[in-house]
């Protein structure tokens, strides 16, 4: 599991990329990553293209990110596999997040 971050200097979004297992083992790294930015300062894009597993603790981490981001900030979950996107839809995350594909979010 790895969490990386990318942000263009003048871009409105921070991209958080999850690689490998998105589970409780990455909770601290994931939380520290989005907390680098004050609430409402940036929108967030979580790139799940290299996430090969996701469990319920990952859903909780995404909810923490949504709460941190502030209601005015956009939070997108992109490039998830069919299974990951289905899990997000079943959990009704499509009502809280933009879910889809985006090749270059920044």
Task: Report the DSSP beta bridge partners of residue 15.
Answer: 6, 45
pLDDT digits (tens, 9 = 90+) for 51-87: 988 999 999 999 999 999 987 788 999 999 998 999 9
pTM of the model: 0.88
Per-domain residue ranges for the chain? 2-100
Please provide the average confidence, as pLDDT, over all residues in the chain. Answer: 88
What confidence score (pLDDT) does residue 1 get? 58
CA angle 97, 103, 104 (to 5 degrees): 90
Instruction: Please give the torsion angle defined by the CA atoms of residues 18, 21, 27 and 32, in that order, rounded to the nearest 10 degrees.
Output: -20
Instruction: Return the ∠ at Cα 103 (arms to 18 and 39), rounded to 5°.
Output: 55
Q: Which CATH number fits domain 2-100: 3.40.30.10, 3.40.718.10, 3.30.750.24, 3.40.390.10?
A: 3.30.750.24
Contact 40, 9 (CB under 8 A): no
Helix runs in 1-106, H state only: 27-34, 56-69, 82-90
């Amino acid at each position: 599991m790895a969490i990386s971050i990318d942000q263009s200097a003048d871009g409105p979004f921070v991209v958080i990329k999850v690689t490998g297992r998105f589970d409780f083992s990455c909770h601290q790294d994931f939380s520290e990553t989005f907390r680098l930015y004050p609430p409402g300062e940036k929108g967030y894009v979580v790139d799940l293209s290299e996430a090969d597993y996701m469990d319920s603790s990952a859903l909780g981490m995404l909810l923490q990110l949504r709460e941190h981001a502030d209601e005015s900030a956009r939070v997108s979950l992109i490039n998830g596999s069919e299974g990951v996107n289905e899990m997000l839809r079943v959990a009704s995350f499509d009502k809280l997040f933009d879910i889809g594909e985006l090749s270059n979010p920044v």
